[in-house]
């Protein structure tokens, strides 16, 4: 049986995250204190510590929430196997219009270790959405294939000038998808 979360807990965590995101627009995560956050969220420090071990655990959760929000906004996962070239094009366009750094201060601020987690979090979220399409089974081999493709795609999209490199990189990635999943990709 699924355990329900108390509405007060949901509201408190939401408020903590709202204040944390507000503070991230003004300062680096290393300079945010539990005292300051708690004061601004109008909770006591003990309440913060009921939900999070420290600021960095909160930061990791907010980072994961943002990655999930971004990936859940993608509506064309069916193209990954049906039309991989279209998937790459649409993902590049989605990135241009929906992934502006100024919209996501959580990706810019913080401990180097957590910022380094972004490609891994993004890859995992994308991989899970691809599995949800039902075209392939969740196996270790498929995880490796998808990780290779999605890490490449992620880093290409993070490039300062992806438009200049798009023709060659998209061709390479489409080739990788076709080679990794020859029985699944539509011709």
Q: How confident is the model at residue 103 (pLDDT cuts 50, 70, 90)?
A: low
Tokens 């023709």 found at: 167
What's the pLDDT score for residue 92?
87
Domain ranges of the chain: 7-52, 64-180
By percentage, how much of the chain surpasses pLDDT 90?
A: 57
Q: How confident is the model at residue 131 (pLDDT cuts 50, 70, 90)?
A: very high
Q: Average pLDDT of 135-156?
A: 94
The pTM assigned to this predicted structure is 0.82
Q: Average pLDDT of 128-151?
A: 96
Q: What does the mean pLDDT of the chain come to?
A: 88
Q: Write out the CATH class of domain 7-52.
A: mainly alpha
Which of 151-160's residues contact partners 24+ apart within 8 Å by CB, and which partners?
Answer: 151/119, 151/123, 152/176, 153/88, 153/91, 154/119, 154/122, 154/123, 154/126, 155/119, 157/91, 157/92, 157/95, 157/99
What's the pLDDT score for residue 3?
57
Among 48-52, 96-100, 171-175, whose mean pLDDT is lowest? 96-100
**Which of 10, 169, 178 shows the shortest CA–CA distance to 92?**
169
Among 80-94, 140-154, 159-173, whose mean pLDDT is lowest? 159-173
Q: Average pLDDT of 97-121?
A: 68
């Amino acid at each position: 049986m699924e355990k329900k979360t108390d509405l007060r807990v949901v509201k408190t965590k939401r408020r903590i995250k709202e204040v944390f995101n507000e503070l991230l627009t003004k300062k680096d995560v290393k300079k945010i204190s539990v005292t300051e956050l708690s004061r601004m969220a109008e909770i006591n420090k003990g309440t913060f510590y009921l939900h999070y071990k420290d600021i960095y655990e909160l930061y990791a959760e907010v980072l994961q929430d943002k990655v999930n929000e971004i990936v859940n906004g993608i509506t064309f996962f069916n193209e990954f196997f049906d039309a991989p070239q279209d998937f790459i094009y649409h993902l590049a366009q989605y990135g241009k219009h929906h992934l502006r750094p100024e919209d996501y201060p959580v990706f810019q601020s913080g401990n180097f270790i957590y910022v380094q987690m972004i490609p891994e979090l993004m890859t995992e979220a994308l991989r899970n959405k691809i599995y949800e399409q039902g075209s392939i089974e969740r196996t270790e081999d498929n995880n490796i294939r998808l990780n290779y493709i999605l890490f490449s795609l992620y880093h290409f999209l993070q490039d300062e000038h992806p438009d200049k490199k798009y023709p060659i990189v998209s061709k390479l990635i489409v080739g990788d998808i076709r080679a990794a999943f020859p029985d699944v990709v539509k011709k």
